[in-house]
Structure 1
Amino acid sequence: MKTVSKRRQARPAKLTPQEAEQYRNLIQKWAQQAPPEYTGNGEKHPYTSLTLSSGLGRAVYASYSDEDLLAVLHDAASRLGRAPTQDEVFSLYRIYLKARFGTWPGALRAAGMRQLPMPDLSMPDWTQMLAEEPELCGALEDVTRRRRRLGYPPRKRDVPQAKILCERFHSWENVIAAAEDFEKWQEARKDN
Structure 2
Amino acid sequence: MKQVSLSESELRRRRAWLARLAEEHPGQSATDPDLPAEIRAAFSLSEEAGAAFYGSLSDEDLLDVLRRRAEELGRSPAQKEIYWVWRAYLRQRFGKWPYALTAAGLSKSAGSGGKSLARQEEERRQRAALLSEVRRAAAELGRVPHPKDLPQVCEGLRREYATWADVLAAAGVERVRTVHPVTDLDARCRAMLEMLKAQAVELGRAPLRSEVDETLRGTLVNRCGSWRNVLYQIGLEPVVHISPFSGAALDRSPGRTRPHSTALYDCYYRLLSPGPDTRRNLTLVEELARSLGRPPKRGEVPAQVRRQLQDACGSWANALYQLGLHTEPQGAGAPVQK
With the length of structure 1 as denominator, give the TM-score of the two structures.
0.55
Task: Note the residue ranges of structure 1 that are not aligned, 5 or more in a row.
Answer: 1-9, 132-182
Residues 17 and 36 (structure 1), Cα distance of their counterparts in 2 relative to 1, 3 Å cut: same
Is the alpha carbon distance of 1:62 and 1:127 closer, same or farther for their aligned partners in structure 2, counting shifts above 3 Å? farther
For residue 128 of structure 1, what is the aligned residue in structure 2? 265
Q: What is the percentage of aligned positions where both structures have the same residue?
A: 32
The one of 88, 97, 101 aligned to 1:95: 88
Q: CA deviation at 1:120?
A: 7.2
Please name the residue that 2:106 is paired with.
Answer: 113
Which stretch shifts more, 39-48 or 54-63?
Answer: 39-48
Equivalent in the alignment of 2:19: 28
Q: Residue 61 of structure 2 corresponds to which residue in structure 1?
A: 68
The Cα offsets for residues 117-148 of structure 1, whole Å up to 9 and x where unpaired, read as 533797246963479xxxxxxxxxxxxxxxxx
Residue aligning to 1:185: 329
Counterpart-to-counterpart distance in 2, 1:29 and 1:23: 10
Tell me the equivalent position of 1:166.
Answer: none
Structure 1 equivalent of residue 149 of structure 2: none
Decide whether the 8 Å contact of 1:11 with 1:54 is kept in 2: no
CA contact (8 A) 1:52 1:58 kept: yes
CA 1:21–1:87 in structure 2 vs 1: closer, same or farther (change >3 Å)? same
> Which deviations, in whole Å up to 9, do the C-alpha atoms of 1:83-109 show, x marking residues without a partner?
101010101001111111121111101
Considering fraction of residues, name the structure with more helix: 1
RMSD across aligned positions (CA) = 3.3
Query: What is the alpha-carbon distance in structure 1 between the residues aligned to residue 69 and residue 328 of structure 2?
Result: 35
CA distance in 1, matches of 2:65, 2:56: 14
Cα distance in 2 for residues equivalent to 1:114 and 1:95: 20
Counterparts of 2:103 and 2:29, CA distance in 1: 30
Q: Following the alignment from structure 1 to structure 2, what is the Cα–Cα distance between the partners of residues 69 and 52? A: 15
Does 2:40 correspond to 1:48? yes
Determine helix, strand or coil for the equivalent of 1:128: coil
Q: Could you tell me which of 2, 15, 19 is aligned with 1:11?
A: 2
TM-score (norm 2): 0.33
Deviation of 1:72 after TM superposition, in Å, equals 0.6
> Aligned partners of 1:29 and 1:19: how far apart in 2?
15
- For residues 77 and 184 of structure 1, what CA distance do their matches in structure 2 show? 39
Seen in structure 2, the aligned counterparts of structure 1 residues 117 and 13 have a Cα distance that, compared at 3 Å, is: farther
> Which amino acid in structure 1 is aligned with residue 162 of structure 2?
P
In 1: Cα distance, 2:27 partner to 2:77 partner: 18
Gap change, CA 1:101 and 1:38, over 3 Å in 2: closer
